[in-house]
Structure 1
Amino acid sequence: MIKILDQSIFCLSTRNTTYMFQKLPSGHLEHLYYGALLPGVTGEEARAFSEKRGCETGNMIVYSQDDKTLLLEDTCLEVSGEGKGDIREPFLEVIRSDGSRTTDFVFEKAEVLQEKESYDDLPGSYGMEPGEHLCVILRDAAGDLALELHYYVYENEDVVCRSARLLNQSDSVVCVERLMSAQLDLRRSGYVMSTFTGAWAREMDRVDTVVSAGKHQVSSCGGASSNRANPFVMFSSPDAGEDHGRCIGMNLIYSGNHCELAEVNAYGKTRILTGIEPRGFSWTLEPQESFQAPEAVLTFSGKGWTGISLNMHRFIREHIVRGKWKDKERPVLLNSWEAAYFQFDEGRLMKLAKAAADAGIELFVLDDGWFGKRNDDTSSLGDWTENRKKLPGGLKGLSGKIKSLGMDFGIWVEPEMVNVDSDLYRNHPEWALAIPGRAHSEGRNQRILDLTNPDVVDYLTETMTSVFSSGDISYVKWDMNRIFSDAFSQYLPAERQGEVFHRYICGLYRLMGRLVESFPDILFEGCASGGCRSDLGILCYFPQIWASDNTDPLCRAAIQEGYSYGYPQSVVSAHVSASPNHQTLRATPLETRFGVAAFGLLGYELNLCDLRKEELDEVRNQIRWYKKWRDVLQFGDFYRGMETAWLNSGDTSSRYPGATDAFPAEYSWTCVSADKSRAVGFTLQPLVRPNVQYHRFVARGLDPDKRYSFSNIPRKVDIRRFGDLINTQSPVHIRQDSLGHRVAAKFVKMDGEKEKYTSLSGAALMEAGVSLTGSYTGTGMNDQTRCYQDFDSRIYIIKEVEGAEDESSGDVEKENV
């Protein structure tokens, strides 16, 4: 809901939040409040929020001799510029034709609009209710520039989106050096800024920094939103936790270079900015032209990080992801990459596909190596024709054979890239981003095609249309395996080289938009060296992303938990891969690999043909179970565990001292259906600690007044896990890892623990939790002992029951994996 009070106070309210600012007598916009809902707020209350100053202070700059109390350096503003005394990081920087940099934007008019602003080259949110769009127009004091501020209110998701457009209404060229998307000035300091940083194979590591003075910034300057610094950030009160405390979450609907910055000034105020990274950016704004900043997403919760997460998840599902696959359950897939890499032919693929079909896989994906002379990563990117030696019948023939097995067929492409060793590069070297006459620094033996050039975008549109039409293709994995270097476009003149990064992203959006429109039934997945472009911009076109090339379940648990703060599990793909893992060489149980991947969009990426029979049986059962529960796991509300280490061990530290990767004592997750009738719980223990017998599972997100059954999935324990301890029970000596050891393990299986409760209240499950079967501590093992060791995990099934003694609801045998 949008209200304008006293013609100068702007109040934007959602179901649980209020965002307020006002027009000062000078025409500047003062930010007043962003926080919990203020129902029925009045103009008088708004004026009570406004800061008062009786006289000029210290050596700050006085804005006007007519009002010596307006000191912009110490005022909470909606937007800021340079030159009038506000020396903090600005919202906007421009250089006029005379070289001056001062800007002074003041209020001209505001109106509430029925529809959302449309962007020419950028994606944005959608589905706003009529009348929830506020447009405020500011004009620079010089009269030649106008700045539009757009606010979009999403009431049910507790989200306010912001964007900005700068219009050059002068007769001269203006150089834009910065136009951010959102500015939030807060009256306090000491906020905890949570950023999600990392690198290839270790994305989304949460880092908390208390911002009490100076500046703290995360940004990307490599041409993509990046795995180094995701655009999603949080700002929390120091006492905030999973379910309590004031928190603000911010994200950017953009896939290029970005910047999120928090600065505390000399007077204890915090300025937060998000938008395009100014480094390496400039834009020549011709007379009567405009420049549009990407859209920013803001949400507030007084219920801690979980409140922020749930708001963001619902917003992304309802107002970012679109098309046929928005609400549709995703298929279980098998990707050929780690099973075959580049070394395959149609016979090997069909053998793998038959094993996949037998296991219950629904989608077979052919990864890299199917085109040109692509036998390694040094050639053929850009030559998108089938390799007939590998695929005699081409994509059409292979896809037909895959379909005959009852599976859909998908492929991998990397359209934005080109190898120097390719026909495309030999014919059009000017189509690659590079500085003519200088040595080029390459990544993964490839260069980036110049998407600032409309001819390149048109060529790729035509080429990919041909590829996607060449067979019965249901899925496309769209990859992008390097960041930018020597970012120079031969299409653009010298004075516009600062536009390369942004124009590239706009060209990418045009390309993706055309293809998604032409192929609405294809399930597109965005990938960029794993999570190098996991952002809301990509999700406006592709309904899911490949979160990381790292499929080690221990690493993936950390990565997926990092994503969970700002992204729903319905957009995050996760695969079960081989053990030892190809990225870490760590050996982990198949049960754990599946458990982690199940809390995402499940896929497999290993050679099923090499698995033992019992492993294939386990995979088959995993897939069968997942299909029953994927509606909850893909589209349910996701909750992280609270203070798990403290609950389990009495240790208030959530991390192992000296652990290399600083894993928590335990991961604990719960996914709950929208009607709160069904839930899946999960725990994973990275490292066992001796003589810690008691563990507890505490659910979250249930209805406290409903009653639920609670059970685990029955399991068998391989006796080889006990090494030569088997000899304490065996009538004959068995040498560890011998043939006899393997034979004994094949015929002797120990029953795992059974957790079964037929009627527990939601309140009990969330407040007290379930005290689980005691863990093995080195002094004995039986079916009343839980073998819960390094890298072990458990899945728990929670179902609403009608009566207190509904035994059938606890029949875990029907859930066997």
Structure 2
Amino acid sequence: MKFFIHPFNLRFYYSLIVAFLLCSIHVAAQVIIPVETKNTALILQSNVANDLGIIYFGKKLSQPSEYAAISQMYKQSEDYTGVLNSAYTSSGSRNLVEPAITVSHADGNNSLDLKYVRHSVKAMDNNVSLLTVVLKDPVYALEVNLFYKAYFNEDVIEQWSTIKNNEKGNVVLKKFASANLHFKGESFWLNQYHGDWAKEMKPEEARLTHGIKTLDSKLGTRTNLFQPSVFMVSIDKPATEDEGTVLFGSLEWSGNFRTDLELDNQDNLRIISGINNYASDYTLKPRQEFTTPAFIYTLSTAGKGLASRNLHNWARTYKLLDGKGDRLTLLNNWESTYFDFNESKLFELIKDTKKLGVDLFLLDDGWFANKYPRNGDVAGLGDWEENKQKLPNGIASLVKEANNNNVKFGIWIEPEMVNPKSELYEKHPDWIVKQPKRDEYYFRNQLELDLSNPDVQDFVFKVVDDLFTKNPDLAYIKWDCNAVIYNAYSATIKNQSHFYIDYVKGLYNVLKRIRTKYPAVPMMLCSGGGGRVDYAALQYFTEYWPSDNTDPLERIFMQWEYSYFYPAIASSNHVTDWGKQPIKFRTDVAMMGKLGFDIVVSKLNETDLKFCQDAIKNYNSLKTVIFQGDQYRLSNPRESALASMAYVSADKSSGVIFNYLVNNRYGENSKMPVRLKGLDASRKYRITEINVYPGSKSSIDMNKEYTGDFLMKIGFNPDVNSSRTSVILKVDAI
């Protein structure tokens, strides 16, 4: 039998072989452990005292044997601990900086000193390898396994840990990070995000100074509301789109998170990320182990654009549900009707769905509850039976009407939540997250169900399962989550410090059950906007809702920032009546991701309707390149009057460029040509304007041909101005 390795994979196998060889190489009692991807290397080293440290994280060296010489090149101030560069910093012994792990042993001792024991590398497939490093305390029977899952071609690493209690009594985990990174550099710059409802993903960049900068959330659920868990760190100088060394990081966890960034006395940067240990001491019984969520990161030495494409490629292939698949366009009734609808109104909207030319009609909030009807956001949550007054024939009649119009039907739910004014609240007060001796405090007039309770998990699963059992043709779920946790307490948990963690684990248990039974149904991850957008949740969802703010001008800025971390196929963008822009501008902006509409189709004039119908056809012809193409940011709306974003197919044969005027001051326009990216310099291309509003003419000469070299070095002017505020250009190789 003969074995053949495709040349494309030779580098991966070579790197893996080198890693195995280096695993057994001891240099002066030191063990070098490389974690290599296509372009980067994270190098671990165990010293003579079996302390495991990080000696390098940067561009991969051509000669792996030279990694051992890196430490000799630095002549920094004294490390008084010997563990400043620890790969997983423990506390209570000689460490003087922020730890990754803190424990209280069975005998009450709080010290920990983790020593390298062994490691192994496993090839998961021809692109993915898993390094496992075993650390143990020489005094106490506590073991920590560090896992580094390297995605070679994507330059992405997932890192997590397991903590095993081999002691005879209970061990209490006080802090339990997923990852602990260490960087050397001249300076470090943090780009973080903040926001609120309708103001998501606002960036702030600043130089990191000595001490600790903490990014965290204590909201329990919808945890990204004020502080998203994603961040960037530039090394030596702030990275630009195409230049500089930058790390993108994010925790795969839908609950409280914490990332510490500490500039130490040697001027090196330590990054520790994991579940927030706030009010969450976790007790491990003998023989139990705790597994942390994964921390995902990618390092680019060629700017932010490459880092984002690394994450996009990784997410579509390995994490996002159906990341290589298609997405449904839809019409949502929310801004058409809000809570005020009945069966006949919805029948007309379903007909409008077909008329508009989209794939699916989505029924939003307000379709359920009878004793306390859901006619506003003050009642009904938790009572998931059809409202008999609004829908006398149930959901089934709507699904049937959708089928009759050759469109699909989807529905909104918020199954984790309950209104105090509901039958569920009356029947199961023990299912609700609330302190027994304190006044209830509401977020959007609602409380959370206690997902740490298995009975509640069964209930939430049944909400979804019943909908599909009764309506097998149901084709889409919008899963909302509008509240944060006040007065955290579970009526069934004995140790209340486990609550925040067990709540999230309960959520994942439900989602796993749903995906086991309904693996392919598209689901939108909605959380009052972008309050729960992370890759742990997105493995169960096909898309997320960036913000309830759908003003297209605002969305340009939001979608720009989200796009650094999440691919376009995952971003749900709807055309609504928010903002004062014309229908063309609103539609053009929404087409940068997964397109939907939330408008009153019957109120569109004939020309606007014709434009929307044609735009949907254009969108359907371009979906593949938008969803699967490489994304390039060409003109930053925070730095220019022009926002320009491009998507280019992997084979460089086609692309689409979205251009928008974001400054309406007098005379603003696309003064300069926009340099394209990602094309083949040797090929010729033709540029065509699409989504031209009926009755108007394009100012673009669509008969000219340009080399990729010209378009990338000189550029192309989309002719954006006050009378052409949005311009979409289709790029085709000849």
The TM-score bracket by the shorter chain reads over 0.9
- Cα distance in 1 between the residues matched to 2:92 and 2:74: 21
Please, which runs of 5 or more residues in structure 1 have no aligned partner? 62-70, 116-127, 646-653, 656-663, 718-748, 777-786, 802-817
Q: CA deviation at 1:795?
A: 0.6
Residue 49 of structure 1: aligned partner: 70
- Cα distance in 2 between the residues matched to 1:212 and 1:763: 42
Say if 2:90 and 2:112, in contact at 8 Å, map to a contact too: yes
Q: CA deviation at 1:83?
A: 2.3
Please state whether the residue corresponding to 2:462 is helix, strand or coil: helix
Q: CA deviation at 1:691?
A: 3.7
The letter for the 1-side match of 2:479 is W
Residue 445 of structure 1: aligned partner: 445
Q: Does residue 1:607 correspond to 2:600, yes or no? A: yes
Q: CA deviation at 1:40?
A: 3.4
Residue 684 of structure 1: aligned partner: 660
Residue 160 of structure 1: aligned partner: 157
Residue 78 of structure 1: aligned partner: 87
| Cα deviations by residue, 1:158-188 (Å, 9 ceiling, x for unpaired) | 1121110100100111111111111111123
- Cα distance in 1 between the residues matched to 2:141 and 2:287: 10
| Cα deviations by residue, 1:579-610 (Å, 9 ceiling, x for unpaired) | xx1xxxx3112111111110110000111122
Residue 805 of structure 1: aligned partner: none
| Cα deviations by residue, 1:703-729 (Å, 9 ceiling, x for unpaired) | 222211012237359xxxxxxxxxxxx
Say if 2:127 and 2:153, in contact at 8 Å, map to a contact too: no
Say if 2:634 and 2:644, in contact at 8 Å, map to a contact too: yes
Please state whether the residue corresponding to 2:461 is helix, strand or coil: helix
The letter for the 2-side match of 1:531 is G
Residue 6 of structure 2: aligned partner: none
- Cα distance in 2 between the residues matched to 1:696 and 1:227: 38
| Cα deviations by residue, 1:760-804 (Å, 9 ceiling, x for unpaired) | 11121122111354857xxxxxxxxxx24xxx2111111110xxx
Residue 799 of structure 1: aligned partner: 732
- Cα distance in 2 between the residues matched to 1:114 and 1:273: 27
- Cα distance in 1 between the residues matched to 2:709 and 2:609: 39
Please state whether the residue corresponding to 2:45 is helix, strand or coil: strand
Matches within 5 A, 1:291-306: 291-306=290-305
Matches within 5 A, 1:250-399: 250-322=249-321, 325-372=322-369, 373-399=373-399
Q: CA deviation at 1:417?
A: 0.4
- Cα distance in 1 between the residues matched to 2:297 and 2:693: 47
Q: Does residue 1:669 correspond to 2:645, yes or no? A: yes
| Cα deviations by residue, 1:75-110 (Å, 9 ceiling, x for unpaired) | 312110112332221100112244332110001111
- Cα distance in 1 between the residues matched to 2:193 and 2:43: 28
Alpha-carbon spacing, 1:544–1:131, altered in 2? closer, same or farther (3 Å): closer
Residue 595 of structure 1: aligned partner: 588
Q: Does residue 1:637 correspond to 2:614, yes or no? A: no
Q: CA deviation at 1:114?
A: 4.6
Residue 111 of structure 2: aligned partner: 102
Residue 783 of structure 1: aligned partner: none
Please state whether the residue corresponding to 2:201 is helix, strand or coil: strand
Match of residue 90, structure 1, among 96, 99, 109: 99
- Cα distance in 2 between the residues matched to 1:711 and 1:131: 40
Q: CA deviation at 1:47?
A: 2.3
- Cα distance in 2 between the residues matched to 1:796 and 1:561: 18
Alpha-carbon spacing, 1:396–1:234, altered in 2? closer, same or farther (3 Å): same
| Cα deviations by residue, 1:391-416 (Å, 9 ceiling, x for unpaired) | 12211111011111010000000010
Matches within 5 A, 1:231-630: 231-237=229-235, 238-322=237-321, 325-372=322-369, 373-471=373-471, 472-493=473-494, 496-578=495-577, 581=578, 586-630=579-623
- Cα distance in 1 between the residues matched to 2:551 and 2:69: 54
The letter for the 2-side match of 1:666 is L
Between 1:341-350 and 1:457-466, the stretch displaced more is: 457-466
Runs of 4 or more off by more than 3 Å in structure 1? 51-57, 128-131, 714-717, 749-752, 771-776
Alpha-carbon spacing, 1:775–1:407, altered in 2? closer, same or farther (3 Å): closer
- Cα distance in 1 between the residues matched to 2:451 and 2:329: 33
Residue 130 of structure 2: aligned partner: 133
Alpha-carbon spacing, 1:102–1:755, altered in 2? closer, same or farther (3 Å): farther
The letter for the 2-side match of 1:282 is D
Please state whether the residue corresponding to 1:19 is helix, strand or coil: strand
The letter for the 1-side match of 2:176 is L
Residue 648 of structure 1: aligned partner: none
Between 1:669-678 and 1:708-717, the stretch displaced more is: 708-717
Say if 2:686 and 2:704, in contact at 8 Å, map to a contact too: yes
Please state whether the residue corresponding to 2:61 is helix, strand or coil: coil
- Cα distance in 1 between the residues matched to 2:74 and 2:323: 51
TM-score (norm 1): 0.83
| Cα deviations by residue, 1:647-693 (Å, 9 ceiling, x for unpaired) | xxxxxxx54xxxxxxxx522110011121111110111122333456
Please state whether the residue corresponding to 1:150 is helix, strand or coil: strand
Alpha-carbon spacing, 1:269–1:531, altered in 2? closer, same or farther (3 Å): same
Say if 1:182 and 1:273, in contact at 8 Å, map to a contact too: yes
- Cα distance in 2 between the residues matched to 1:21 and 1:469: 52
Please state whether the residue corresponding to 1:696 is helix, strand or coil: coil
The letter for the 1-side match of 2:634 is G
Say if 1:433 and 1:488, in contact at 8 Å, map to a contact too: yes
Q: CA deviation at 1:249?
A: 1.3
Say if 2:718 and 2:727, in contact at 8 Å, map to a contact too: no
Q: Does residue 1:37 correspond to 2:60, yes or no? A: yes
- Cα distance in 2 between the residues matched to 1:348 and 1:794: 35
- Cα distance in 2 between the residues matched to 1:273 and 1:160: 15
Q: CA deviation at 1:111?
A: 1.5
- Cα distance in 2 between the residues matched to 1:241 and 1:502: 37
Please, which runs of 5 or more residues in structure 2 have no aligned partner? 1-14
| Cα deviations by residue, 1:267-287 (Å, 9 ceiling, x for unpaired) | 211101111112222101111
Match of residue 706, structure 2, among 728, 749, 760: 760
Say if 1:192 and 1:235, in contact at 8 Å, map to a contact too: yes
Q: Does residue 1:710 correspond to 2:687, yes or no? A: yes
TM-score (norm 2): 0.92
- Cα distance in 1 between the residues matched to 2:326 and 2:68: 49
Alpha-carbon spacing, 1:524–1:197, altered in 2? closer, same or farther (3 Å): same
- Cα distance in 2 between the residues matched to 1:155 and 1:52: 28
Between 1:174-183 and 1:708-717, the stretch displaced more is: 708-717
Alpha-carbon spacing, 1:335–1:53, altered in 2? closer, same or farther (3 Å): closer
What is the identity percentage for the equivalent residue pairs of Structure 1 and Structure 2? 31
Matches within 5 A, 1:139-158: 139-158=136-155
Please state whether the residue corresponding to 1:72 is helix, strand or coil: coil
Say if 2:115 and 2:135, in contact at 8 Å, map to a contact too: yes
Q: CA deviation at 1:466?
A: 0.8
Match of residue 45, structure 2, among 5, 22, 43: 22
Please state whether the residue corresponding to 2:474 is helix, strand or coil: coil
Residue 725 of structure 1: aligned partner: none
The letter for the 1-side match of 2:708 is G
Q: CA deviation at 1:469?
A: 2.0
- Cα distance in 2 between the residues matched to 1:681 and 1:293: 40
Say if 2:127 and 2:152, in contact at 8 Å, map to a contact too: no
| Cα deviations by residue, 1:207-261 (Å, 9 ceiling, x for unpaired) | 1121132222211110134132222211113152111111111122211111122
The letter for the 2-side match of 1:765 is L
- Cα distance in 1 between the residues matched to 2:171 and 2:341: 55
Q: CA deviation at 1:618?
A: 1.4
The letter for the 2-side match of 1:715 is V
* Structure showing greater Rg: 1
Q: Does residue 1:175 correspond to 2:172, yes or no? A: yes
The letter for the 2-side match of 1:104 is D
- Cα distance in 1 between the residues matched to 2:601 and 2:127: 52
- Cα distance in 1 between the residues matched to 2:564 and 2:576: 25
Please state whether the residue corresponding to 1:18 is helix, strand or coil: strand
Q: CA deviation at 1:12?
A: 1.6
Say if 2:127 and 2:151, in contact at 8 Å, map to a contact too: no
Q: Does residue 1:769 correspond to 2:718, yes or no? A: no
